[in-house]
Every structure is written in C-alpha cells, then in structure tokens.
A = this chain, B = another copy of it.
Amino acid sequence: MKIGIIGVGLIGGSFAMDLRKVLPGAEFFGLDKNPEHLKMAADMGIIDTEGGDPEIADADIIFLCIPVDAAVRELPVLLDKIGDEALVIDAGSTKKQICAAVADHPNRRNFMACHPIAGTEFSGPKAAMQGLYEGKTNIICEVEKTAFKLQEKALDLFARIGMRIRYMNPEAHDKHIAYVSHLSHISSFMLGKTVIEKEKNERDIFDMAGSGFESTVRLAKSSPAMWTPIFEQNKENVLETLREYIHNLEEFRKKLAEEDMAGIYKEMEDTNKIKEILKGIPLNKKES
C-alpha cells in the first residue's frame, strides 16, 4: 500500500507513525512546503521518501494535513491528480469551506472530510507521536458523499489506530467546534496577551505563576499560521462565541463591582458541573 502524507507535522506525522504499526509493508511518501520539515520527517523515519505528482497518481491513500486555507486551495487540485481508487482524507479544524470547495468535483467520491480531535499546542514533525489518535474522536462530515468502498477502507484504518467516530454535517461541526475549541484558543491567547502586557517590565512576576496559569495559557503557544485561517473560515461562528463569552465576563465583572458575592458564588457553583462533562475527554499521552 502506498500512502501519501501532505503536511508532515503533528497531525500528518502522527498518522504515518500510527499507520505504520497497523499496516506493515506500507510505503509512506511525504510532501511539505517546508523543506526542513520534509527532511526532518525522513530522518525521523516518519516518511520513507519525498513525493511528487507521480507518487500522488500512484497512491492508495493520501492524508491532507495542512492549514485550512491551503487545504481549500489544494484539495481540488489534488483530486485532479489521484488514481480512480484513491482515498483522500483531510484533517482540517473547519469543514464547511473544504466541503464546499469540492462539492461539485468529479472525484468528490474519493474524498473523506475528517476532523481528528487530537491537536496540541505543538506543531511540526517533532511534535508527531505514536498513539496520538488512540481513544480520540474523529468527526466525519458528509460521509454519504464518499464512495462506499473507500468509507469502509477509512473506517477500518481509523478503528485500527483506536479512533472513535462521530458523524456530523459541516455546518453543525463548524458551529459547535467554535465553542469547544476555537473559543478556548482565543481566550488563552488574550489571557497570555493581557498578562504579558502588564508584566513586561517585571519578568520575576512569572515566578508567581502556578500550574493553573500554565493550563489556561497553554494554547497561546499554538501556531498563528494554523489558527489564522481557521478563525477566518469560521468567522461568523467564532464572533458569536466571542460575543457570548465577553458578555459573561462583563456580567461577572458587574457582579464583582457591585459586591454581589452570592451571585459570584452561584456562577461558579453552576459551572462546577463542567467536572462531569470533562470526565469524558481523553488527554494526550504527552500531557497525561
């Protein structure tokens, strides 16, 4: 089996590492716009060789793991180049624009729109790890538009690397993921910004920071190149989550200003039920 990895970073590299274990004998080729990442991925044994149009035409499966703006641009071109029986799987954090970009493509049946919920704040081949996908959710959109035989092939592979599958339509995916992922990133980035601005002349202050601060600003280490196009593609949903989040912060601020401490207590008590909700979320191995 010949497998192509376009974008040999955390997501693409980890797919290669996990699939190598369950597909002995498979050959992996890679493409990346960053030649250093491509060399690193080869040196690390993530890919066997570099790839190009001949390898793409000959591939059985291709994983497209690049920023979502590039994915929208590249996917239609990629579908033009592949063989009749090939399967292309993307891994983007937004699904509406990419599904729209190939809605009328003659090879739409060769494509499966996926969002593996497995990212971390790290990126590049060095961030890739074996077992990243074990126990993680993979959201598949418009599954009915993928050829039945290719659906089977993809689902078998996902099962073998330990992923659980959820099906959604692209609109619902983008709306809900804004709440449980995109908003977290903005809250984290702006928290980091607020503290850096305040404390820029007092570096020692970070000695006061504990694991709670670390946890809430962890996502502010994330890659701007990856996240800028996500926010752009999911603009309307993200604006809506931000509006609600800012409103809740304003209400909290008002309660505190008015010394409504019973109200503050209740806000926190009501939100404590997040404990139950969080129980179901699998952590990454590097973090747990």
Q: Which of A237-288 contact B (CB under 8 A)?
A: 238-239, 241-246, 248-250, 252-253, 256-257, 259, 261, 264-275, 277-278, 280-284, 287
Question: Knowing A271-B220, A282-B211 touch, does A231 contact B256 (C-beta < 8 A)?
Answer: yes
Restricting to A24-54, which residues have a CB under 8 Å from any CB of B? none
Contacts of A224 in B (CB 8 A): 264-266, 268-269, 272
Bound-complex Cα distance A242 to B222 (A) = 23
Chain B residues within 8 Å of A266, by CB: 224
> Do B205 and A245 touch across chains, with their CB atoms under 8 A apart?
no
Report the stretch among A74-82, A102-110, A113-121 that lies at the interface: A113-121
Q: Is the pair A268, B194 in contact by a Cβ cutoff of 8 Å?
A: no
A57 contacts partner chain B, Cβ-Cβ < 8 Å = no
Say whether A166 faces chain B, with CB atoms less than 8 Å apart. yes
Query: How long is the Cα–Cα vector from A249 to B275 in the complex, in angstroms?
Result: 26
The reply on A216 being an interface residue by CB < 8 A is yes
Number of this chain's copies in the complex: 2
Chain B residues near A199: list those with CB within 8 A. 176, 179-180
Chain A contact residues: helix, strand, loop or mixed: helix
Contacts A179-B198, A180-B206, A249-B245 known; A215 to B216 CB distance under 8 Å? yes
Residue with the highest number of chain B CB atoms closer than 10 Å, among A177, A266, A277, A287: A277
Would you call B186 and A252 a contact (CB within 8 A)?
yes
Among B136, B207, B216, point to the contact of A210 (Cβ < 8 A).
B136
1/0 per position for A196-237, CB-CB distance to B under 8 A? Answer: 111100101111111111111111111011011101100100
- A192 close to chain B: CB less than 8 A: yes
Given A265-B228, A268-B227, A270-B193, verify A187-B212 contact (CB < 8 Å): no
A177 CB contacts on chain B under 8 angstroms: 208
A188 within 8 A of B: yes
A194 touches B278 (CB 8 A): no
Instruction: Give Cα A8 to B30, complex, Å.
Output: 56
| Pair A212/B271 contact, Cβ less than 8 Å | no
- How many whole Å from A87's CB to the nearest CB in chain B? 24
- Residue A169, interface by CB 8 Å: no
- B232, A261: Cβ atoms closer than 8 Å: yes
CB under 8 Å from chain B, chain A span 153-170: 164, 166
Assess whether A129 is interfacial by the CB under 8 Å rule.
no
Q: List 14 A-B contacts (CB under 8 A).
A: A164-B207, A173-B208, A179-B195, A180-B206, A184-B213, A194-B245, A220-B274, A221-B274, A224-B265, A224-B268, A228-B264, A235-B257, A239-B257, A242-B256
**In the A-B complex, the 5 residue pairs with the closest CB atoms:** A224-B268, A180-B209, A184-B216, A117-B210, A192-B274
